[in-house]
Structure 1
Amino acid sequence: MTEHTLSEAEYDAITDAAAHWCMRLHASDCTGEERQAFQQWHDAHPLHAFEYEAMLEIWDVAGDLPHPQSPAPAPPPSVGTPGKYPRSWRTLGVVAATCALALPLAAYTGWNLGWVPNAYQHFEATDNLRQVTLNDGTLVELNLGSELTYTHYRDERRVTLKKGEAFFTVRHDITQPFTVKAAEGRIRVTGTRFNVWMYEDKVRVNLIEGSVQVTSQGDLTHNVSYLRPGMQASYRQGDFAPQVSQTSANDSALAWRTGKLVLDDLPLSDALPLINRYLSAPVMLADSNTAAIRIGGVYDTRQVKNLVTSLPRVLPVYLTRNQDGNPVINSMPLQPPKS
């Protein structure tokens, strides 16, 4: 049986319908009948689901747009293989127009006021390091298991680091600052080279060239730390301000760019966040005694799982599992535990 190839008009109709449903399902007056009709449309073809999910991604990054009081519906489950359907840039244009109608304003007014982006990109690196070029010409290197989105507004360029680690070489543009959101904090530059590492709510920023502003609370008007080359800032959720320190000449924070994880005589409490970044299930520590044990060495980032299983051969520890199935590192007692 021959697969039907969608015409340009049919594809446009699906894109328009996805934009319509994105607007209606975010509206406070959306009815149960409309939600049922949406679900029938969504399930009718894999491309319907794919286009709607693309709309939700772009709606989500448009953080300055006002949202209705009622909660937005959860994204429907993925259907089909997104890679089969190239995302059209028309998607962004339709969403911009949809959001503008919801304001309501003309789409061009949304761009002029800085509410609606004119470019959106999404990148992931899974099992390989990846280098990408953003729409503005900025170069980004992504570590394993990293994901980010980029949106270009009239007066600002914005990146959201969703997980992992990235090294940025930002194209200089003093009229359009470049902002990276990582956890609850923000990093702002106009043109520079810097690295952002994130695990759960922990973030570390290392500056190589230029200057950056860092805040731990998302507001770049208060409690801002200014970094110069050779400095780093660290924060986690709830911190009043980032902790700033000078890095050493042999700092290994960028070793990941060559596929290496360097642990420089660290206590396990500090090493585990660096290790867990590469694992699907995090390793836990049994107690404070275990947390104080130190570890060093240079490891292949692709083989971090093997590092965990080999720990009892290089440290006075043994491994167990907790009730969730996560590996737990325990310090070796004076007498071995009974089986």
Structure 2
Amino acid sequence: MSEQHLTEAEYDAITDAAAQWCMRLHAADCTAAEREAFEQWRDAHPAHAFEYEAMQEIWDVAEHLPRPAAPALPLPAPRKPWRAYGMAAAISMLALPLAAYSGWSLGWLPSSYERFQADGSVRQVTLADSSQVELNLGTELTYSNYKDQRRVTLNKGEAFFKVAHDRSHPFVVKAASGEVRVTGTQFNVWLYQDQVRVTLLEGSVLVNSDSSHPDGGFRLDPGMQARYRQGDYQPQISQTYAHDSSLAWRQGKLVLDNLALGEALPLINRYLSTPVMLADNATGDIRVGGIYDITAVKSLVSTLPKVLPVYLTRNQDGNPVINSLPGTTPKS
């Protein structure tokens, strides 16, 4: 299997294998040889470990459900066949023996669960509720269908959502400490470390920077953007301009529109396994621009000394560090 371009059939096969391994490893008679075989399978491809972690999450949730006195009833039938979604099939195998019906009816356990990632290319997926999602490079997210809401958790990266309308069943995207709540709309969510940016194209969304206070939040209209960091009491709201470039990744581009390096680095580091650092705040004031291929951002870093008055060093952790040439930093 290709590491960067797995087909849907390959994803399904990996999901099925992860579910089988999860059940086997939790069995009392699981042998040392089986555990060794599992470790070899898990380490054979990054997607194997990714999918197994999803299975373990489901198992952990189901394990805390109360056991019913009577045999568990079947889950309500989802809108599409469960086999079409590998994660949902895993829930059928893992959760039903542990009081799945009571878990669903109380809103504790989803009727379908999907986990997606995009590695070396942008990926488009259709969720179980028919919502469409585009995943930027290096993005990981999960989708769960609960009785009272549809829930996406953006673990890292960036995603563009076209949400299937369902007013009685809100669609919630959790990112860092906050969340975005909608019923049907088009919007983008960018996450890097503890920074989140929500851009609305169509419809309306409610952005809450602290989901521990569910009654809070600010409503966005089309053309508006919200930014927050983990711990912020409320997001910063702004209007986007006509040629806003924040969604250029959907065409495979990173656009830096005369940004200070301090603002540009989170956008650059989003695509790097080893983040670039700034030597000092003054260096962060130097401005950079240009249009770059999102699959070649690594080469952008090495070219910075050719276009800016900077040079590169490395810190003790091996991170590239941008330093300004003496006498070239902007005056405050």
TM range (shorter): 0.7 to 0.9
Counterpart position of 2:209: 216
**1-side partners of 2:186 and 2:131: how far apart?**
10
Superposed CA offset, 1:194-228 (max 9, x none): 00000001000000001111111123523311111
Q: Does 1:245 align with 2:238?
A: yes
**2-side partners of 1:224 and 1:88: how far apart?**
31
Counterpart position of 2:92: 93
Q: Which amino acid aligns with 1:96?
A: A
Q: Which has the larger radius of gyration?
A: 1
Q: Name segments (4+ residues, structure 1) moved above 2 Å.
A: 14-22, 37-42, 44-55, 57-60, 86-91, 94-98, 219-223
User: Would the aligned equivalents of 2:87 and 2:113 in 1 still touch at CA under 8 Å?
Assistant: no
Alpha-carbon shift at residue 45 of structure 1 (Å): 3.9
Q: Which amino acid aligns with 2:169?
A: Q
Measured at CA, do residues 158 and 15 of structure 1 come closer, stay the same or move farther in structure 2, by a change above 3 Å? closer
Counterpart selection for 2:108 from 93, 109, 115:
115
Gaps of 5+ in 2: 1-15, 43-47, 67-84
Counterpart position of 2:256: 263
Q: Which amino acid aligns with 2:104?
A: W
Measured at CA, do residues 267 and 46 of structure 1 come closer, stay the same or move farther in structure 2, by a change above 3 Å? same
Superposed CA offset, 1:167-195 (max 9, x none): 00000001110011111111110000000
Counterpart position of 1:43: 35
Alpha-carbon shift at residue 306 of structure 1 (Å): 1.1
Measured at CA, do residues 89 and 228 of structure 1 come closer, stay the same or move farther in structure 2, by a change above 3 Å? closer
Counterpart position of 1:55: 55
Per the alignment, in what secondary structure is the counterpart of residue 323 of structure 1? Answer: coil
Residues paired across the two proteins, number: 286
Q: Which amino acid aligns with 2:90?
A: T
**TM-score under structure 1 normalisation?**
0.76
Alpha-carbon shift at residue 118 of structure 1 (Å): 1.1
Counterpart position of 1:137: 130
**TM-score under structure 2 normalisation?**
0.78
Q: Which amino acid aligns with 2:35?
A: D
CA RMSD of superposed structures (Å) = 2.9
Superposed CA offset, 1:288-316 (max 9, x none): 11011011111111111111100011100
**1-side partners of 2:280 and 2:143: how far apart?**
40
Counterpart selection for 1:186 from 176, 179, 188:
179
Q: Which amino acid aligns with 2:246?
A: A
Q: Which amino acid aligns with 2:96?
A: A
User: Would the aligned equivalents of 1:169 and 1:194 in 2 still touch at CA under 8 Å?
Assistant: yes
**2-side partners of 1:139 and 1:145: how far apart?**
18
Identity %: 57
Q: Which amino acid aligns with 2:269?
A: N
Alpha-carbon shift at residue 95 of structure 1 (Å): 2.7
Measured at CA, do residues 306 and 121 of structure 1 come closer, stay the same or move farther in structure 2, by a change above 3 Å? same
